[in-house]
């Protein structure tokens, strides 16, 4: 059994009405004193965090509205030092000396009751960099609670615990908080078979239902002989009656992965009825079994599917005939909607739609169009946005969680960081900022629940080892600055197959950042992304040149080398060399 360490849950703080202003400086959380309560009701809470590098910092600010819904907001505060904001995103600002006001960016102007919005900025300073101790929202001090006024009928015998811990099967806001998470015994055995693997073999990973046969268990190299019921029975045993998360990947759409042959599936592009009847329905029947009602079942819905309908269709240069077909027949949207509706009808299931990663859909046009497709799927085949508990970013990918040595909005030697070859006009440089930005967009622009949560797969994005930069690159030109400081050491952010030099990322953790339900290892480290050369198989998985270390690229990765490791097996099969490299390059290091 493995426990995801509990971090502060910003939405749990909202329910409890605590005032919070926290700073994150060089990996350390610092508590900041809150002001004395004012006489007026506040109805808001602010979470303020920074990544500080000594002469400047990047701040992430989340506002929670505890009062009536508002449309249009301005957040104000004062610094004690000489901090100066240099650029900002998801808002606009004015600054007069130490006084700062940030106004909404338009798309995030509305904040529902108990809803949140976030923005970020870069700033410079010298001397001290204390966090602000008081914030105002539309001129009213944020104290973290709403004054309800006098109680007309006070209860002489109030309940002793107004916010008790939930029971194992009770619906919760963040399924990961206060819960252990399933340790897949098949993956754990593979990990323990490797030198040094014992150190991480107890970590929780996702269970992949990547073919119909996996539901019952078909003794494959990927799933062994354990079917879905076998895993769930094992999860009940591991839970021991306590709150417990079981993570399952739903991954078998018709015409699956239309832009990557290595992860093609068993169903043809028109087999939507078979997807519903032979795949989703049996999974839903099993998950709805009362024997598993006390588990918190987290689903990752169809990796790398919906964004393909944005970036890899005509008239784009990156289009494939297969993706054009899936856009035309509508079966990706129909399949995702059906999965959301059927699985979302089960009280203890928490659906998270796969949302690609920042290096794929982080550009304005890609992100807005992808959000439209996500919303369309969530309103198709009987689904509603209520069937979506959140989204997951970076599934089975390598994008760095946080890039701390450069930021959007910086200008180096007269050229903006956004114009560097690596960033290439993207709005985001890492997965954390991307996940938080997508969350805000889905809530503000598409009507999703204000408590929408995000997951980030950190199984292979640590990029540690001797090549990890310790600071920014030289400021001689913008490319030297970005390339010298970036943690993500891929040749190009579009490279996705068995990447050389990658390492394990942050260990699975609950509620690590505002709006983030958990860091997870949804992709089991050590399972191949695809074979380095063609290997015949009966799993429907093809050979993709992006898994060939000699491949010189295509429009989707700007014709860069693939960066893939040699001698890789078919997707999903154990890849010892990759596991050893991930272990050696882990960040944080494996102890």
Give the active site residues: 304, 529
Identify the H or E element spanning 349: strand 349-354
Separation of alpha carbons 583 and 26, rounded Å: 23
Structure tokens at 13: 């703080």
Structure tokens at 499: 């990447």
Separation of alpha carbons 387 and 384, rounded Å: 6
Rg (CA), the chain: 24
With contact defined as beta carbons under 8 Å apart, do 53 and 103 qualify?
A: no
Separation of first and last alpha carbons in the chain: 19
With contact defined as beta carbons under 8 Å apart, do 66 and 144 qualify?
A: yes
Structure tokens at 472: 């920014």
Q: By C-alpha distance, which of 311, 300, 424, 297 is closest to 365?
A: 311
Please report the sign of the dihedral spanned by the C-alpha atoms of residue 441, residue 444, residue 445, residue 446. Answer: positive
With contact defined as beta carbons under 8 Å apart, do 175 and 6 qualify?
A: no
Identify the H or E element spanning 16: helix 10-16
Q: By C-alpha distance, which of 513, 222, 561, 521 is closest to 397?
A: 521
Separation of alpha carbons 535 and 542, rounded Å: 8
CB atoms within 10 A of CB 290: 7
Q: By C-alpha distance, which of 61, 62, 95 is closest to 79?
A: 95
- Please count the CA atoms within 13 angstroms of the CA of 130 that sit on its side-chain side: 12
Separation of alpha carbons 438 and 427, rounded Å: 11
Structure tokens at 187: 């993956």
Instruction: Give 137's strand partners.
Output: 75, 140
Separation of alpha carbons 483 and 467, rounded Å: 12
Structure tokens at 137: 């929202």
Separation of alpha carbons 456 and 355, rounded Å: 10
CA 334-182-294 angle, 5° bins: 75
Separation of alpha carbons 271 and 265, rounded Å: 11
Separation of alpha carbons 142 and 46, rounded Å: 7
């Amino acid at each position: 059994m493995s426990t995801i360490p509990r971090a502060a849950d910003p939405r749990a703080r909202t329910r409890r009405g605590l005032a919070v202003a926290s700073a994150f400086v060089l990996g350390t959380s610092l508590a900041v004193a809150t002001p004395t309560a004012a006489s007026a009701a506040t109805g808001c809470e602010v979470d303020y965090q920074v990544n500080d590098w000594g002469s400047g910092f990047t701040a992430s600010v989340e506002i929670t509205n505890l009062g009536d819904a508002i449309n249009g907001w301005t957040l104000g505060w004062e610094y004690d030092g000489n901090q100066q904001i240099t650029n900002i995103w998801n808002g606009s600002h004015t600054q007069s000396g130490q006084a700062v006001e940030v106004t909404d960016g338009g798309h995030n102007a509305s904040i529902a009751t108990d809803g949140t919005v976030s923005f970020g900025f870069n700033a410079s300073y010298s001397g001290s960099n204390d966090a602000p101790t008081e914030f105002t929202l539309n001129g009213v001090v944020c104290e973290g609670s709403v004054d309800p006024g006098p109680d007309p009928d006070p209860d002489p015998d109030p309940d002793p615990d107004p916010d008790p811990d939930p029971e194992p099967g009770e619906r919760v806001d963040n399924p990961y908080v206060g819960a252990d998470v399933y340790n897949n015994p098949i993956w754990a055995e593979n990990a323990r078979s490797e030198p040094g693997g014992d150190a991480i073999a107890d970590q929780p990973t996702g269970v992949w239902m990547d073919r119909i046969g996996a539901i019952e268990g078909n003794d494959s190299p990927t799933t062994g002989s354990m079917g879905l019921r076998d895993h769930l029975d094992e999860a009940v045993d591991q839970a021991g009656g306590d709150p417990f998360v079981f993570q399952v990947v739903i991954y078998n759409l018709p015409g699956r992965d239309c832009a990557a042959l290595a992860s093609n599936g068993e169903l043809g592009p028109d087999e939507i009825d078979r997807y519903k009847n032979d795949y989703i329905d049996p999974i839903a029947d099993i998950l709805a079994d009362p024997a598993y009602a006390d588990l918190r079942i987290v689903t990752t819905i169809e990796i790398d599917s919906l964004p393909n309908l944005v970036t890899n269709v005509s008239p784009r240069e990156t289009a494939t005939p297969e993706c054009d077909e899936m856009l035309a027949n509508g079966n990706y949207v129909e399949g995702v909607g059906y999965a959301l509706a059927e699985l979302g009808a089960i009280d203890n299931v928490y659906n998270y739609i796969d949302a690609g990663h920042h290096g794929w859909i982080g550009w304005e046009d890609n992100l807005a169009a992808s959000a439209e497709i996500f919303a369309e799927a969530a309103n198709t085949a009987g689904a509603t946005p209520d069937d979506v508990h959140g989204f997951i970013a970076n599934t089975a990918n390598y994008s760095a969680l946080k890039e701390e040595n450069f930021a959007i909005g910086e200008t180096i030697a007269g050229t903006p960081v956004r114009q560097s070859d690596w960033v290439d006009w993207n709005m985001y440089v890492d997965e954390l900022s991307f996940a938080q930005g997508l969350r805000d967009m889905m809530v503000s622009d598409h009507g999703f629940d204000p408590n929408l949560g995000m997951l980030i797969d950190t199984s292979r994005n640590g990029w540690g080892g001797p090549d990890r930069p310790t600071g920014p690159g030289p400021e001689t030109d913008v490319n030297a600055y970005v390339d010298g400081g970036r943690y993500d050491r891929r040749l190009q952010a579009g490279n996705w197959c068995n990447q050389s030099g990658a390492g394990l990322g942050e260990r699975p953790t609950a509620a690590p950042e505002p709006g983030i339900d958990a860091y997870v290892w949804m992709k089991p480290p050590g399972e191949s992304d695809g074979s380095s050369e063609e290997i015949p198989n009966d799993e429907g998985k093809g050979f993709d040149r992006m898994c060939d270390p000699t491949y010189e690229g295509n429009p989707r990765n700007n014709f860069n080398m693939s960066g893939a490791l040699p001698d890789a097996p078919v997707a999903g099969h154990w890849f010892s060399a990759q596991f050893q490299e991930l272990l050696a390059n882990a960040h944080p290091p494996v102890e």
